[in-house]
Amino acid sequence: MGDVAGRARQRFPDQLRGLALLGIVVVNAPFMAIDVDGYTDDSLATTVDRAAAMLTTLLAEGKFYLIFSFLFGYSATFIVRPGPAVDESGLRRYRRRLIALAALGLAHAIFLFLGDILLSYALLGALLMLAFGWTDRAVLNLALFSYLLAATWLGLLVVGAVVDGSAGAQSVAPELVELNTAMSEGSFLQLALARAAALPTTLLTLASVQWGFALAAFALGLVAGRRGYLADPARHRVLWRRCAVWGLTLGFAAQALATWLAFTDGAGYAQTTLGLVGLGVGFITAPVLAAGYLGGLALLHLRWPSLLAPGESAGRASLSVYLGESVVLCVIFCGWGLGWYGQLGAAAVTAIAAATWGGLALAAWAWLRFHRRGPLEILMSKWQNGGSVGSSAR
């Protein structure tokens, strides 16, 4: 996501980023279109709806935000040059980027989608900044420590909920109940106020479930950027093949178990004891399948590069597309828009989410025929570079 003069833009990271945005919007859509808790019994009433929800959980939930996080860490090396001597000018650009992401993330969470990742990325990115001068070994140790801490914490939360009998409890926080009502009936301002009231609870949930895993992915991406793993995937074919074989095999097995637990005795995650256990298993093992995706997509990029091309434009304009997805879904589902909130099943919501990504990817392609960056990327680059637009690189 950086801008460094003299470096050619790398296509594979853009392709990965664009495809990750597809996975992210498919996962986010139920929380924007069905219920603040995601899937409900009514949204899974048909076999097609249930199949769509299970496939989303199996293939996407908890995986693509990790790939996006990995790429965030990877892109940091284009802003701050890797090495023991930290580039001060690069650090200034990076800090300015984090400030912009925090502001955009807060606005996104309040006005569009409460489950925003930009604010989280800004906060975690500040922690990653401390590791810029570390050796690769130390950064990898940070990734391992962050993952183990997150997995242990999430496991303890699940065990605690099961032991005290709260595993199947629905969201009862008053602010979340009010948010659900505002999603279907509130005006734009009423909904924004409801999101603002629910933001502290949501941030606590995201911190418990996602932040540790995201920071681990940041750290791995930082090392990958230093070593150029995505710049020339052919040089690292053996690594990608191992990721694909082990990640896809073990990852699919673990995610199949998590999905079965999530849906065998209720609507979805955290609505039953088994569902909550499925949540824990799913998030703890998601990095394995995410690594498998990275390896498999790297091999596809080398063998059939045109297969990943549809995601490249979306990846080049990732910030614009990410926020654009929320705008489109809000217009369709919020009470101040078309008002379809809570009225469609899981399959229809999934199809609309995928179509939204496709439309925005096409729009990005059209825009990039005449511009070097997406519209928000242009503004971000100007802010990050103190008013000038740097060269495109990633």
Write the pLDDT tens digit of every residue in 113-145: 999 999 999 999 999 999 998 999 999 999 999
How many Å apart are CA 53 and CA 42, to the nearest integer? 12
Handedness of CA 238, 243, 248, 249 (dihedral sign): positive
User: 10 Å Cβ neighbour count for 184?
Assistant: 16
pLDDT at 267 over 70: no
Q: For the CA atoms of 66, 69, 73, 76, what is the dihedral angle to 10 degrees?
A: 160
Within-domain flag for 5: no
How many Å apart are CA 183 and CA 164, to the nearest integer? 31
Residue at 40: amino acid letter: T
**CA contacts within 13 A on the Cβ side of 84:** 2
Within-domain flag for 251: yes
How many Å apart are CA 119 and CA 125, to the nearest integer? 10
Tokens 């460094």 correspond to what residue? 4
Task: Please state at what angle helix 64-75 crosses helix 273-303, rounded to 10 degrees.
Answer: 50
Mean pLDDT, to the nearest integer, of 297-322?
93
Within-domain flag for 25: yes
Burial state string for 290-326 with b = 16 or more CB within 10 A and e = fewer than 16:
bbbbbbbbbbbbeeeeeebebbbbbbbbbbbbbbbbb
Q: Provide the 8-state DSSP code for 211.
A: I
Backbone angles phi and psi of 25, in degrees to 5? -70, -35
Burial state string for 145-168 with b = 16 or more CB within 10 A and e = fewer than 16:
ebbeebbeebeeebeebbeeeebb
Q: Provide the 8-state DSSP code for 170.
A: P
Within-domain flag for 1: no
Q: 78 near 225, Cβ under 8 Å?
A: yes
Where helices occur in 186-337 by DSSP H, the ranges are: 188-206, 212-227, 237-242, 248-263, 273-303, 312-316, 318-333
Confidence bin at 3 (pLDDT 50/70/90):
very low
Within-domain flag for 111: yes
What is the reported pTM? 0.92
For 236-249, how does the pLDDT look when each residue is reduced to its tens digit (9 = 90+)?
Answer: 999 999 999 999 99
Within-domain flag for 389: no
How many Å apart are CA 283 and CA 155, to the nearest integer? 10
Confidence bin at 166 (pLDDT 50/70/90):
low
Q: 348 near 26, Cβ under 8 Å?
A: no
Within-domain flag for 391: no
Within-domain flag for 394: no
Confidence bin at 100 (pLDDT 50/70/90):
very high
Q: What is the pLDDT of residue 133?
A: 87
Tokens 């962050």 correspond to what residue? 146
Q: What value, to the nearest 5°, has the Cα angle with vertex 150 and ends 65 and 38?
A: 50
Could you list the residue range(s) of the whole structural domain that residue 326 is in? 11-384
Q: What is the pLDDT of residue 269?
A: 53
How many Å apart are CA 117 and CA 242, to the nearest integer? 29
Q: What's the structural domain count of the chain?
A: 1
pLDDT at 219 over 90: yes
